[in-house]
Amino acid sequence: MDKELTTLFTGRKLIKLAETGSTNRFLNDLIQHETVPEGTVVTADYQTVGQGLGGTAWFSEPGSNLLMSVLFRPDFLPVPKIYLISKAIALAIKDFLNDQGIPAKIKWPNDIYVDDNKICGVLIENSLRGSQVLQSVCGIGLNVNQQIFPPGIPNPVSMKMITGKTYSVDECLAVLCRQLEKRYLQIKSQNFNHINNDYLKSLFRFFEMKCFETAAEKFNAQIIDVEDDGRLVLKKENGTIQRFVFKEIRFL
């Protein structure tokens, strides 16, 4: 890995913390109190408040993993296209892992999977005023060197568990910052088709006939598309096409 930070702005301001509640919260608080340049990154060796969705705990061994938040200001993005941020971040992480020889995929909407196991989680918090996106705080929790996870975490995996190598978390950060900036600049240059195509190509279970579950039923279907607003488009075995928002549908 080339550990040199070669970005224009991503990670140029870097705040490294030994421990914090969550890096997203820290960065959000910081923005309230001072002018923070775009691309600012906050990392922590350890987070006391596991930052998962709806209180899902995310256990991380101190220093073993990459826990970071990055600030972007996608004020060029119309609110109906806000889901592109999610696509760009997920693609950057996927690109980074692929470059390390790890066959990562994006599990809709933006978890990163290797085979059937989760290697990285993403939590994005935006601020909107009217039709303007003011800022986007993107939290990333990537399992790097951790090999033992507490029971109860469904299907974790780390980079080390896949390749057997021990990584420098700082080097991972520098290389990931480059990928994040590259994908972010693609949306900034309105290169939406590029992002959309790469996102679809990278989707976990894209076009595979697999079992899904809603509150009402279980069925076999293929993922055939993801709409601009992020909805998952499934084609069922009988040919009917249905769209789902997050939490309406579960992968089995």
Partner 1 sequence: MNLKDIEALIKFVQKTGVSEVSIEQTDLKITIKTHAAPQQVIQASLPAPVMAHAAPAPSAPAVATSVSVQAEAPKAKGSDESKYITVKSPMIGTFYRSSTPDKPVFVNVGDEIKQGKVLCIIEAMKLFNEIESEVTGKIVKVLADNSTPVEYDQPLFLVDPS
Contacts to partner 1 by CB under 8 A: 53, 55, 79-80, 82-83, 85-86, 109-110, 122-131, 134, 229-231, 245-246
Whole-number Cα distances in Å, 71 to 30, 95, 97, 106: 11, 19, 21, 21
d(CA 118, CA 105): 10
Q: In what order do the strands lie in the sheet with 210-213?
A: 241-244, 232-236, 218-226, 210-213, 250-251
Helix (H) or strand (E) holding 212: strand 210-213
Quote the least distance from Cβ 95 to partner 1, whole Å.
20
Whole-number Cα distances in Å, 99 to 22, 106, 149: 28, 15, 25
Pairing of strands 104-107, 232-236: unpaired
Quote the least distance from Cβ 187 to partner 1, whole Å.
14
Cis, bond preceding 109 (omega within 30 deg of 0): yes
Which residues are paired to 57 by β-bridges?
Answer: none
Quote the least distance from Cβ 72 to partner 1, whole Å.
13
Taking the least distance from each CB to partner 1, the nearer of 66 and 82 is 82
Quote the least distance from Cβ 143 to partner 1, whole Å.
19
Taking the least distance from each CB to partner 1, the nearer of 12 and 244 is 244
Quote the least distance from Cβ 88 to partner 1, whole Å.
12
Provide φ and ψ at 29, rounded to 5°.
-65, -40
Taking the least distance from each CB to partner 1, the nearer of 126 and 242 is 126
Are 91 and 104 within 8 A, CB to CB? no
Quote the least distance from Cβ 83 to partner 1, whole Å.
6
Taking the least distance from each CB to partner 1, the nearer of 109 and 156 is 109
d(CA 67, CA 23): 7
Taking the least distance from each CB to partner 1, the nearer of 66 and 137 is 137
Taking the least distance from each CB to partner 1, the nearer of 183 and 231 is 231
